[in-house]
Structure 1
Amino acid sequence: MLSEEQIRLIFGLKLKQTRNDKGLSLFGLAKLTGLSKSYLNEIEKGKKYPKPDKIVSLAKALEIPYDELVSMKLSGPMAPVSDIIMSGILKEIPLELFGIEENQLLDIISSAPEKVTSFVSTLFEIARHYHIDRDQFYLTALRSYQEQHFNYFEEIEKEVAACARKYQIDLSSRISSAELEEILTEEFGYQIDNNTPLENDYPEQIRSAFIPKIKKLIIAPSVTEAQRVFILAKELGYAHMEITERPHTFTWIKFDHFDEVLNNFKASYFAGALTLPEKQMVQEIQEVLSSSEFTGEQLLETLLKFTYSAETFFQRLTNILPHHFGLKDMFFLRFGMENSKSSPIITKEFHLSKNHQPQANHQHEHYCNRWVSTELLNHPERFPSVNGVRAGIQLSEYPNGQNYLILSASNDDPFQSGNSRSVCIGIEINPKQKRKIKFIDRVSERRKVGVTCERCPVHDCDVRASEPVILQKEAINAELEERVRKLIRGEDV
C-alpha cells in the first residue's frame, strides 16, 4: 500500500506532466481553475493533495478524465519515476543529511526523466555487480556525511562535556569501566551482566547485547578492559543523548533504518570523545606536531597514554587533526588479515577533502606490502610493542609525486580470535600541511610505494605479490591508441 506522501508525490508529478503536455504555465492553470498559483505549486511539489472537487476542476481544465488524473501511473518517459517512488528506494537514501528534500530530487528527475532514470538504473546495476547491500549503502552515506563535516561534530563534543560535568567524570585521568557501570546503574537504572558468556550461543563478534525492555546490558566476560570501557561509554552516550532507535548488539548484525546507522555513529563518537577527551588530545597532539623528531616508539607511547585500542585512538585523531590543526587532506584506513598466509584487506576507510590513495579495491588486487600498515600485519616482530599494540611511522612516496605521512598501529582483532588488524591515518604532505609538522623532514622510514601490485611501476620490489598486469595492459592499450591516432592523422600511411 502506498503512503500518503507517495500518493502526493505521484499526483504532483502527474499534474505537472499533464500541465506541461498541454502547454500551460502555473499561472495559466490557475486562471482556468480558479485555484491560486501558490496552491498549485504546493500540489506539484507533493506537499498537498487536493480535495475531490478541486481534482474535478483540474481534470476539466486539463481536458482529461478524472480517473486518469488520479491514477498512480505516470506515462511516457516519466513512467520509471513513479516506479522509483513506489519502490520506496528514496526512503532508503538519507537525503536530509545533505540538505536535500525528496521533492527536490524528484524535480531533478522529472526535468530530464530519460537521462536521470537511466543514470539511476546504471547505479543499481553497478551496486548489484559489486554486491552492495543496504547496510553497505547506509554506511557509504554515513561516510559521506562524516567527510562533509571533516568528521568533527561540535554538538556531540558539547554533549560529552555536559555529561562529564553532570556526573563529575574526571576527564584528566583514564576512565575505568567500574566508573561507567556505576553511572549507568545509579543514574539510568541499568542492569549490567558481566557473567553471561555470549560466545557460547552467539558468534564471537557479539561482544554485548542490550535488552531495552528491562534495561539490561550483557557484556561478554572475555572482553578486555579497553573494549568494556568503550561499550559502556557508548551505552552512556545512548542514555545521555536519549537515543532509542539504535542497534542492540555490539558489533551490529544489521541495520533496519538509516537512523540506526546515524545513531550508532553518534554513540560511538560520544564514546571516543569521552575516553579520549578533546582538551587533552589537543594538548598532546600540539606537542607531537611541534617536536623535532617523532618515532614509532613515541607514537606507541602517545597512544597508550589514552587507550589500548589502536582504532579508538586513530578514529579520534580524525576528529581532532582537521578541526584543531587544519590538517584536512588526510585519510583513515583499517586493514584486516585472517592469518599469516593471507593478504591484508581494507575493511574500513574514509577520505577527507578528496579521495586519496590508497582506496579499497574490490577486484581482488594485492595491496602494496611496502605500506607500514600492511607491514605491521605481515611482520609484526619488526615494530615496538606493548601489551600486543604495535606502532610505526612512514613517509610514503607514490610514483605520481604525492607523499603521505603515515601513522599506523596494530593489535589483535578484538572480534575474531587469531586475526590481526591495523589502522592508519595518512596526512598528505603538501606545502600547507608540511609547515604544520615540524618533524616531517626527519622521518627515518621513507619508502617508495604503490597502490596495488597489479598497478605498481616500482621495479625490483622484493615484496611484490603479483606482476603489474593491469599496468602492463594499460600501457599496451595506450600504445595501440597512439598508433590508431597516427593512422587516422595519416602519419603511418
Structure 2
Amino acid sequence: MEEDYIKLIFGLKLKQIRTDKNLSLLGLSKLSGLSKSYLNEIENGKKYPKPDKIAILSEKLDVPYDQMVSLKLDKNLAPIGDLLQSKILKEIPLELFGIKESNLIDIVANAPAKVNAFISTIIEIAQNYNFSRESFYLASVRSFQEANNNYFENLEQSVLKFAEAYHIDLNETITSKDLEEVLVEEYGYTIEANELSKYEALGNLRSMFVPKTKTLLLANEIDEPQRTFIYAKELAYNFLKIEQRLYTFPWIKFDTFDQVLNNFYASYFAGALIIPSAKIISQLNHIFEKETFDASLFLKAIDSYNASPESFYQRLTNVIPKAFNIQNLFFLRFTHKANSKNFYLKKELHLSHQQSPHANETNEHYCRRWVSLKMLKDISKSKSDHVFDYQISNYKDDGVKYLVLSSATKDPFKENHYRNITIGLLINRQLQRKVNFLQDEIIETKNVGVTCERCAIKDCKDREVPAVFLEKKAKNKKMESIVSELTTKFS
C-alpha cells in the first residue's frame, strides 16, 4: 500500500479507539505521555509512530499491538479501508479535475464517520444499478470531456504537427494507404489483414495490436473508413508517445484509468486527423448561413471525408462548441435489432446543463417520438445503408427545444442490426445568432419526452407504456393535499 494510506488507516484506528474510550486528545496525551500535537498529526494521517510509541499507545489504551498495526478496520470504517486499499485514488488522475489526493485524505481523516456513510451510499447505489469499475472509468472520462467542452487544443495542434512532419495534406481526403505508409516505414509496423476473421469467437473485434512484434491484426469485414480510423489511432499512440494503452478495438477490458483516458486521446487525435477542423468549420459556416436547411449540403459534408457518419458527428461535438461558441449540445448513439422493440443507448455526451435527454438504467422506454428511434425503425425496413433526418424536439416539461440532426446506418458486423448517431443543439439566443435556418418551416417540430413512463404528453399514438411514474406522482400529490386538509380541519 501507499505509505500515506498506511498512515491514514493507523490514524483512523487510533481516533476510533480513543473516542470509543471517551478520551479527548488532551486526555490521551496525559495518559500516554505523548504530546497532543503529535497525536493529532498521527490521527490526521500525517505521521506514523515508531514501534516504541505504538507500544506505549497499545499498553495505555489496552489494545493488542498487532491489532493496532493491522490494516484491517472494523465494519464502521471498512469501506474507507477498501477504498484506500483498492488504490482507485491512484488510478484516477485527480489533477485533471483540479483535485489533490492529499485534500481527499484530509477530508477522510477529519470526518471518517460521515465520509464512510457517503462512500457506503455510493457503493450501494453502484451495486443496485450494477455500476461496474469500467462504468465508473468511462463516466469519469465523459465528465472530463464535458468539463472541457469536448475540445482539446493540444491534440488539435498535435495533429497539425503530425501532418507537417509527414507531409500529409489536410485539405485532401486522408486514406488508409497514406497512414499505413507512416505506420510501416516510420514505426516499424507489420500489418496482417486476414488473421482475426479466422476466429468466430472474436465477434466484432476489428483490430488487435501485438506490441512485442509491432504487429497489427485486422478483421476482413472492416471497410476503408474503419481501416483509416484504426491506423490513425495507432499513429496517435506512437506520435503522442502513449505507453498506457488498449490493444484491441473495440476494447475487451482495461486495467487502469490511464488506458481509458489515453484511448479517448487517441480517438480524438484520429478524428481530428481524418476530419480536420479548418475544413469542417468552413462547411458548417456554409450550412449555417443559409436561410433554409439544405440536407443535401449536410450529407455532402459527411461524404467528403473518409470517415463513418459516427466519426463525423463526434467531430461536430469537438468543433461546434469552440468555433461557434455553441456549448449546449448532446450526442447519442443507439443500437437496434430489426423487428425488436428494444433500443439501447450505448454512448452519450452532454455539454448541455439541461437534463434531457439522458440515459437511464431502469429499463424504461425511450420516447418513440425521438427522430433517432424513428430512423432505426425506418432503416431496418429499408435496403438503405445510410438514412438521414432532422427535427426540432420540444421538451415541453423542461421548457427547452433542440435542433436534432440524426443518421442511421447498418451495423457491418451484425446481421439485421442497426445504429443511430444523433446530435442535438439547444435552441437559445446563441444558436439563433449562429444558425440562420432555424425558422425554416420545413423543419418539423415535435413535442417529445424522455421516457414513456415519465412523459406527460396526452393521446400519444407512439406511446409504448403508460406514464406510470407521473400517475404515481399525481396520486401522492392528491394524498398530500387531503392530509393537509385534514390537518387544517382538526387542528
TM-score computed with the length of structure 1 as normaliser:
0.88
Deviation (angstroms), 1:59: 8.1
Match of 2:393 in 1: 396
Match of 1:209 in 2: 208
Match of 1:375 in 2: 374
Match of 1:334 in 2: 333
Match of 1:468 in 2: 467
Percent sequence identity over aligned pairs: 44
Match of 2:244 in 1: 245
After superposition, what is the alpha-carbon deviation per residue over 1:251-305, rounded to whole angstroms, capped at 9, x for unaligned? 1111111111111111111111111111112222222222212243332222112
Distance change (3 Å), C-alpha of 1:196 and 1:147: same
Distance change (3 Å), C-alpha of 1:115 and 1:49: closer
Amino acid at match of 1:419: H
8 Å CA contact retained: 2:92, 2:258: no
The 5-angstrom pairing of residues 406-417 of structure 1 reads: 406-417=404-415
Deviation (angstroms), 1:397: 0.9
Deviation (angstroms), 1:192: 0.9
Deviation (angstroms), 1:186: 0.2
- Could you list the runs of 5+ residues in structure 1 that have no partner in the other structure? none
After superposition, what is the alpha-carbon deviation per residue over 1:152-196, rounded to whole angstroms, capped at 9, x for unaligned? 111111211111111111111110001111000000000011122
Number of equivalences: 484
> Match of 2:423, SS?
strand
Match of 2:458 in 1: 459
8 Å CA contact retained: 2:175, 2:306: no
8 Å CA contact retained: 1:345, 1:367: no
Distance change (3 Å), C-alpha of 1:365 and 1:381: closer
Amino acid at match of 1:390: V
Match of 2:310 in 1: 311
Deviation (angstroms), 1:17: 6.4
Match of 1:133 in 2: 132
Distance change (3 Å), C-alpha of 1:187 and 1:65: same
Q: Following the alignment from structure 1 to structure 2, what is the Cα–Cα distance between the partners of residues 175 and 130? A: 42
Distance change (3 Å), C-alpha of 1:471 and 1:245: same
Q: Following the alignment from structure 2 to structure 1, what is the Cα–Cα distance between the partners of residues 35 and 206? A: 64
> Match of 1:157, SS?
helix
Q: Following the alignment from structure 1 to structure 2, what is the Cα–Cα distance between the partners of residues 83 and 172? A: 53
8 Å CA contact retained: 2:25, 2:40: no
The 5-angstrom pairing of residues 50-199 of structure 1 reads: 52=51, 70-73=69-72, 78=77, 80-91=79-90, 93-198=92-197
After superposition, what is the alpha-carbon deviation per residue over 1:313-351, rounded to whole angstroms, capped at 9, x for unaligned? 111111111122111111111111022333322111121
The 5-angstrom pairing of residues 207-356 of structure 1 reads: 207-356=206-355
8 Å CA contact retained: 1:209, 1:219: yes
> Match of 2:436, SS?
coil
Deviation (angstroms), 1:394: 0.8
Q: Following the alignment from structure 1 to structure 2, what is the Cα–Cα distance between the partners of residues 381 and 248? A: 33
Q: Following the alignment from structure 2 to structure 1, what is the Cα–Cα distance between the partners of residues 322 and 59? A: 59
After superposition, what is the alpha-carbon deviation per residue over 1:7-33, rounded to whole angstroms, capped at 9, x for unaligned? 2332354566679986449xx99xx86
Amino acid at match of 2:388: A
Q: Following the alignment from structure 1 to structure 2, what is the Cα–Cα distance between the partners of residues 484 and 40? A: 52
Q: Following the alignment from structure 1 to structure 2, what is the Cα–Cα distance between the partners of residues 64 and 212? A: 53
Q: Following the alignment from structure 2 to structure 1, what is the Cα–Cα distance between the partners of residues 93 and 46? A: 19
Q: Following the alignment from structure 1 to structure 2, what is the Cα–Cα distance between the partners of residues 147 and 431? A: 21
Amino acid at match of 2:386: V
Q: Following the alignment from structure 1 to structure 2, what is the Cα–Cα distance between the partners of residues 161 and 359? A: 35
Distance change (3 Å), C-alpha of 1:284 and 1:45: farther
Q: Following the alignment from structure 2 to structure 1, what is the Cα–Cα distance between the partners of residues 484 and 151? A: 50
Amino acid at match of 2:410: D
Amino acid at match of 1:396: S
Q: Following the alignment from structure 1 to structure 2, what is the Cα–Cα distance between the partners of residues 44 and 198? A: 59
Match of 1:440 in 2: 438
- Could you list the runs of 5+ residues in structure 2 that have no partner in the other structure? none
TM-score computed with the length of structure 2 as normaliser:
0.88
Distance change (3 Å), C-alpha of 1:145 and 1:340: same
RMSD (Å) for aligned C-alpha atoms = 3.2
Q: Following the alignment from structure 1 to structure 2, what is the Cα–Cα distance between the partners of residues 24 and 218? A: 63
Deviation (angstroms), 1:461: 2.4
Deviation (angstroms), 1:358: 1.4
Q: Following the alignment from structure 1 to structure 2, what is the Cα–Cα distance between the partners of residues 205 and 179? A: 25
Deviation (angstroms), 1:113: 2.5
Match of 1:431 in 2: 429
Distance change (3 Å), C-alpha of 1:415 and 1:8: farther
Mean Cα displacement is larger for which, 101-110 or 143-152? 101-110
